[in-house]
């Protein structure tokens, strides 16, 4: 008998940009299986611009969302509340649901976990166990809450296993599945290579730095953002800088009157956010990446491209111990030193990491079909 004969659907949640490259390989893996389970994709609408959302659906071949909650932006309380309210309304009238799958650490992840668990549904968290130990990061709170109540914790980084064990999580709730975000890199690398985004900008391979910045710690305070604009201008004296600008950062640059200063430098290529294939192409051939992103630390480690992370901590320590990532903290002098080393050819080569192999989505599907059938 086929599994799920008596069960109608599994709900997959995605809401913000970094969720899309994680949900794509899971859905692709599920669609390759012979199962009667129906998958329902819920987009919360936390990110809604074409460049922050739709383009990723197009480029990653994700089906159009079955349900769109259209919550939009807001304060944490307002946004989380809207997601919970609308997701609960959806689940209350939905066909019988076998479980809910959430990914990552954004507000949508935590909000939908709370709703699913309170409605008595099993919830699986993909990318569980990561901890930065910095409670000033909204994502850290989302991770702790999500992992404390989700049923199945699917881990991508060996540190996640240690963290969950230390928190006393029962081993039967935990599985090491590897990194679904790397599945998307593996699937799209050839296309990214063929695109040659750097050449299209008149840049040579390994002849530029790619920069992304969007964390509140870096962009929400005028003094800090001003220092970062100065830092990037200095960097551009040494090497061309490609800087696709996140909407949060763009808003702050405008609000603080810093945009002209940033764009004045002829070697800073500022642009709106880029699509997945474009950013992957730029990452692959960069000499150096400077970022405060979570996922980029992993992607650069997989691609063996040096990454300098402008944050006080990382929840992805394997990218530092085995990968190409350097945590520069918040002191820009430390970052200058790290950048200087890379430009002088001194950086860690990095190595392969277990389960970062392009097959994590398959392992996620193995676990959820086994658990919920």
Kindly list the residues in this chain that would bind ligand UD1 in the complex (CB under 6 A): 16-18, 46-49, 52, 73, 105-107, 138-139, 214, 246-248, 251
SS3 252: helix
Q: Smallest distance from the beta carbon of 193 to ligand UD1, in angstroms?
A: 25
**Residue whose C-alpha is closest to residue 354's, from 159, 173, 165:** 159
Catalytic-labelled residue, pool 28, 125, 214, 246: 214
Q: Closest CB to ligand UD1 among 16 and 241?
A: 16
Q: Which is nearer to ligand UD1, 129 or 240 (CB)?
A: 129
Least Å from the CB of residue 337 to ligand UD1: 26
Is the separation of the CB atoms in 130 and 157 below 8 Å? yes
Shortest reach from residue 272's CB to ligand UD1, in Å: 10
Looking only at the bridges linking them, the beta strands covering 174-176 and 325-327 are unpaired
Q: Assess contact for 247 and 219: CB atoms under 8 A.
A: no
Residue 309, Ramachandran bin (φ over 0: left; ψ between -120 and 50: alpha; else beta) = beta
User: What angle is formed at CA 348 by the lines to CA 135 and CA 305, rounded to 5 degrees?
Assistant: 80
For 85-147, the DSSP string reads HHHHHHHHHSSPEEEEEEESSSHHHHHHHHHHHHTT--EEEEEET---S-TTSHHHHHHHHHH
214 noted as active-site residue: yes
- What is the spatial distance between Cα 175 and Cα 181, in angstroms, rounded to a whole number? 17
Q: Pick between residue 211 and residue 239 the one whose CB is nearest to ligand UD1.
A: 211
Residue with Cβ nearer ligand UD1 (262 or 342):
262
Token pair 């199962």 is found at: 35
Could you list the beta-strand ranges (E) of the chain: 9-14, 38-43, 67-68, 97-103, 123-128, 152-155, 174-176, 209-212, 241-244, 268-271, 288-291, 307-309, 325-327
Report whether 221 contacts 249 (CB < 8 A): no
Minimum CB separation of residue 106 from ligand UD1 in Å reads 3
Q: Output 11 or 137, the one with its CB closest to ligand UD1.
A: 137
Other beta carbons within 10 angstroms of residue 136's beta carbon come to 11
Q: Kindly state the smallest distance separating residue 216's Cβ from ligand UD1, in Å.
A: 7
Least distance between ligand UD1 and beta carbon 296 (Å): 10
Cα–chain-centroid distance for residue 329? 20
**3-state class of 23 per DSSP?**
helix
Query: Which positions are catalytic?
Result: 214
């Amino acid at each position: 008998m086929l599994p799920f004969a008596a069960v109608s659907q599994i709900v997959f949640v995605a809401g913000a940009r970094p969720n899309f490259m994680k949900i794509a390989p899971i859905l692709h893996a599920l669609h390759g299986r012979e199962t009667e389970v129906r998958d329902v994709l819920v987009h919360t609408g936390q990110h809604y611009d074409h460049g922050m959302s739709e383009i990723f659906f197009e480029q990653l071949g994700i089906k159009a969302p079955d349900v769109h909650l259209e919550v939009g932006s807001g304060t944490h309380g307002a946004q989380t509340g809207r997601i919970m309210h609308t997701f609960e309304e959806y689940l209350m009238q939905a066909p019988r649901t076998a479980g809910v799958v959430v990914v990552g650490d954004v507000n949508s992840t935590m909000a939908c976990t709370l709703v699913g668990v309170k409605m008595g549904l099993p919830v699986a968290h993909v990318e569980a166990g990561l901890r930065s130990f910095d409670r000033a990061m909204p994502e850290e709170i989302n991770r702790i809450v999500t992992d404390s109540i989700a049923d199945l914790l699917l881990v991508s980084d060996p540190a996640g296993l240690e963290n969950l064990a230390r928190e006393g999580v029962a081993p039967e709730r935990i599985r090491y599945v590897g990194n679904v975000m790397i599945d998307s890199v593996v699937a799209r690398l050839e296309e990214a290579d063929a695109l040659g985004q750097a050449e299209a900008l008149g840049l040579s391979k390994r002849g530029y730095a790619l920069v992304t910045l969007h964390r509140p710690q870096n962009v929400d305070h005028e003094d800090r953002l001003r220092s970062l604009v100065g830092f990037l201008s200095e960097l551009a004296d040494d090497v061309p800088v490609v800087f696709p600008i996140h909407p949060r950062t763009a808003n702050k640059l405008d609000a603080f009157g810093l945009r002209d200063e940033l764009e004045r430098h002829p070697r800073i290529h500022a642009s709106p956010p880029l699509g997945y294939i474009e950013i992957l192409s730029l990452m692959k051939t960069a000499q150096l990446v400077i970022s405060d992103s979570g996922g980029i630390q992993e992607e650069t480690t997989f691609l063996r491209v040096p990454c300098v992370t402008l944050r006080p901590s990382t929840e992805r320590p394997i990218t530092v111990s085995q990968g190409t990532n350097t945590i520069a903290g918040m002191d820009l002098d430390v970052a200058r030193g790290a950048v200087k080393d890379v430009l002088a050819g001194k950086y860690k080569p990095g190595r392969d990491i277990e389960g970062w192999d392009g097959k994590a989505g398959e392992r996620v599907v193995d676990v959820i079909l086994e658990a919920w059938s």
